[in-house]
Structure 1
Amino acid sequence: MPKTLSPEDIQQFREAMRRVAENAFATRGAQGVTMRELAKELGCSAMTPYRYFRDKDDILAMVRAAAFNRFAARLEAAAQNIPAAASAIDHSAVSYAYVAFALDEPHAYRLLFDQTPQQQSAYPELAAASQRAWRLLGAHFERLVAAGVLEGDPALIGYAYWTSLHGFTMLALANQLPLPAAQQTDTDGDATTAAHEPSREAVFAQILRMLWRGALPQRN
């Protein structure tokens, strides 16, 4: 007779599965992963995961929800540290937090936006986590417009920022952008000079300057 699972047992197994499945889904795609493979990588019997999850999509939804919550927490922490009277450029902390999360957790980031969207009504935990992240971004730009820091439709500004940050992030993850300044060296192994290719940080800073300038209030 199967052992009765305690809440602690369930949580421990789900967390172990999350770590294994995040890597599997991010590197092989949802279609390239099976329940049997996940069980093997976790070191349990093929049927054990079914005691905790309905199917593979249930596991993917759990993994994505956890990633969205970590992403939202990173953005919330950055937003909370911005002074009330901060200038426009000081609000870039949220943008830097966005990119930092993706570079720190590339597998998690890819699962947020590089997978076929799931029917969120079937996964309340995933829906809540996703809405948490987007509520934060939406409220951030609404505050900036209300305070007169930016001018325009907050939703439109938010989408423009998101597409720009996402494009930069995906190119960075694909190693299609200049190296970070700390990694740039010349052929002799010495640090590059300003005359060489701009650093990845410089590219991102330029993107933010251009974005801010485009949404700043027009002065007569």
Structure 2
Amino acid sequence: MSAQARTYHHGSLRQELVREGRALLIEEGQQAVTVRELARRVGVSHAAPLRHFRDRDAVLGAIAADGFDELRGHLEAARGPGDLEPRLTAYVRAHVRFAQQNGPLMQLMFASTEGETRDEASRSSAERFFTLGAELLGERDPSSMGPIPFLLAATTEGISALAAAGRIPPDRVDDVVTAAVRMLLPQIEQQLG
């Protein structure tokens, strides 16, 4: 998106504000995302966004929810049939690639998944995302999950954060993902067994 204000013509103002907010988040960081700035960039009055969002935190929550839904869509391929190792590798690779392309968005998404700062839509999107990972590992009841889903999440989020920050050279990311999956696979297979 351009930093220039443009005129909002039609469609869903809420979706346009989320889309523009995401672009602003990635371009300039979370502190730049304000209701006033989004209204300016979309070309509506300063009060218009408040018909869709109670405040800035609600806008950020909607951006995070949209990010979780998009990421979950990228990870759905790992849910299909076939051997676990390639599916798990595809899952982690997709997560890391998303982080490399959307670093500030990932920081927002994973900064907090609970608490009063998250609205219901954001919490629900985050839960659907985390449920997908747990299902890949054979977990069906989130209240009684073992340690493996948390270990996979920590590994995946860690690799993603390092890759997004450039701390893993881009040409080494796939090697790191492959090594991590191979390290975790025996524990995961034991849990699934």
TM-score (norm 1): 0.69
RCO comparison, higher one (Cα < 8 Å, 6+): 2
Would you say the 8 A contact 2:35–2:55 is kept in 1? yes
The equivalent residue for 1:47 is 47
Count of equivalent residues: 177
Unaligned runs of 5+ in 2: 1-9
RMSD: 2.7
Q: Mean Cα displacement is larger for which, 60-69 or 88-97?
A: 88-97
Q: Specify whether residues 48 and 67 from structure 1 end up closer, same or farther in structure 2 by C-alpha distance, changes over 3 A only.
A: same
Which deviations, in whole Å up to 9, do the C-alpha atoms of 1:153-172 show, x marking residues without a partner? 95311110111111111111
Which deviations, in whole Å up to 9, do the C-alpha atoms of 1:13-42 show, x marking residues without a partner? 11211122113345422x553321221222
* Cα distance in 2 for residues equivalent to 1:161 and 1:109: 17
* 1:92-131 equivalences in 2 (<5 Å): 92=88, 93-113=90-110, 115-117=111-113, 119=115, 123-131=119-127
The equivalent residue for 1:3 is none
* Cα distance in 1 for residues equivalent to 2:44 and 2:125: 29
The equivalent residue for 1:170 is 161
C-alpha displacement of 1:122: 6.4
The equivalent residue for 2:173 is 200
* 1:54-203 equivalences in 2 (<5 Å): 54-80=54-80, 82-83=81-82, 86=83, 88-92=84-88, 93-113=90-110, 115-117=111-113, 119=115, 123-142=119-138, 155-180=146-171, 199-203=172-176
* Cα distance in 2 for residues equivalent to 1:112 and 1:216: 29
Give runs of ≥4 in structure 1 deviating > 6 Å: none
TM-score (norm 2): 0.77
Would you say the 8 A contact 2:14–2:52 is kept in 1? yes
Q: Specify whether residues 100 and 90 from structure 1 end up closer, same or farther in structure 2 by C-alpha distance, changes over 3 A only.
A: same
Would you say the 8 A contact 1:20–1:42 is kept in 2? yes
Percent identity over paired residues? 25
* Cα distance in 2 for residues equivalent to 1:207 and 1:95: 9
* Cα distance in 1 for residues equivalent to 2:17 and 2:116: 20
More helix by share: 2
